[in-house]
Amino acid sequence: NDFYKELLGNTWTIKKWDGPEQFEDKTGELMMLPADMAFLFDPEFKQYVEMYANDQDIFFKDFAAAYSKLLELGVDFGDDSKN
């Protein structure tokens, strides 16, 4: 859950350069993309950022469930999976 802690715990500003839009922390050492920042800007997403930053176990549980769905997507388990 370090990603979520960094997202909440740092002050992010738009990087001043000629490249695509990015955000950086005060030191200029860490960078976030606009897609990352959307988690903070959108109230629906932000509730999950706060929840995952505060409870790593919930993040692990939700991540495992989502990843399992991805791994099983399109897999035919046959008739045995219905029992």
Distance, C-alpha 72 to centroid of its chain? 21
- pLDDT for residue 77: 73
Cα separation, 2 vs 7, whole angstroms: 8
Q: pTM value?
A: 0.76
d(CA 4, CA 27) in angstroms, rounded, equals 18
Place of tokens 């738009």: 14
Task: Read off the pLDDT of residues 30-53 as tens digits, 9 standing for 90 and up.
Answer: 999 999 999 999 999 999 999 999
Residue 44 CB neighbour total at 10 angstroms = 7
So what's the pLDDT on residue 75?
76
Q: Radius of gyration (Cα) for the chain, nearest Å?
A: 18
Name which of 41, 39, 43 is nearest 1 in CA terms. Answer: 39
CB 1 within 8 A of CB 52: yes
